[in-house]
Amino acid sequence: MSKDLFNKDTLRKWISEIGGNGKIPVSAQEWIEALAHTIAVVRGAGRIERASYEFQEMLWERNGVADVGQGNVSVGSAINDANFRDWLAERSMSPLPESSSERIDFLATLVEDIKAQLKEFVPSRMPQLKIFRVLAALYPEAMTTIADEGKLRKLAQLFTFERNLPAAGLHVRLFRRICG
């Protein structure tokens, strides 16, 4: 089965058949609408709006990319901090590089920088899932909606991607492989 993942036509056929007889389940339709709404809100927001509490709260806690899981790791103190919000708003305005290798470096660095910024606010456990939800909302042209790193790595393994890639690199490779 995994050999078929190397054939783009087969992969696209499988993707087009999701939903069986052409009917997408209501829950999937609702998720697609929520995702599209999140991307539209993010795309329409300038730097000043992105630095607002309301925008950051939506981005971290209520975006339509994926569920927050148990949501046990609070980022509330970071969202309440104007310096953190300004920093992330500024960084989020940086354009995404074109080449895959530059995208991987850009996003992997951004992940590490976000973790470094959050460390002061969440010293015990890093909100990994939330970070990837935020990146997918900010850079939907490079990130998949798979927020769970374990599941992302399992899927990437089926595609036989390099095992040493950072999670952001797996997103870039998967996105390019599936979307062309």
Q: Examine residue 92 and state whether it is found in any structural domain, yes or no.
A: yes
Which letter does DSSP use for residue 23 in this model?
P
Higher pLDDT, 21 or 162: 162
pLDDT band at 40 (very low <50, low <70, confident <90, very high): very high
- pLDDT on residue 105: 93
Burial class (CB in 10 A: 0-12, 13-18, 19+), 114: buried
Mean pLDDT of 133-147: 88
> If you average pLDDT over each of 12-21, 85-94, 156-165, which comes out highest?
85-94
- pLDDT on residue 32: 85
Mean pLDDT of 64-86: 87
Question: What average pLDDT does the structure give for the chain?
Answer: 84
Q: Examine residue 161 and state whether it is found in any structural domain, yes or no.
A: yes
Please, which residues have CB within 8 angstroms of residue 44's CB and are 6 or more apart in sequence?
none
Domain count for the chain: 1
Mean pLDDT of 5-25: 61
Q: Examine residue 14 and state whether it is found in any structural domain, yes or no.
A: no
Per-residue pLDDT of 105-127, as tens digits, reads: 999 999 999 999 999 999 888 99
Q: Examine residue 13 and state whether it is found in any structural domain, yes or no.
A: no
Residue of 64, 98, 71, 87 lying closest to 172 (CA atoms): 98
Q: Examine residue 10 and state whether it is found in any structural domain, yes or no.
A: no
Q: Name the pTM for this structure.
A: 0.82
DSSP assignments along 154-175, one per residue: HHHHHTT--TTS-HHHHHHHHH
Quick one: CA dihedral 24, 28, 33, 37, positive or negative?
negative
Q: Examine residue 4 and state whether it is found in any structural domain, yes or no.
A: no
**Secondary structure class of 43 (helix, strand, coil):** helix
Q: Examine residue 5 and state whether it is found in any structural domain, yes or no.
A: no
Domain with 59, as residue range(s), is: 22-179
- pLDDT on residue 162: 74
- How many CB atoms are closer than 10 A to CB 145? 16
Q: Examine residue 166 and state whether it is found in any structural domain, yes or no.
A: yes
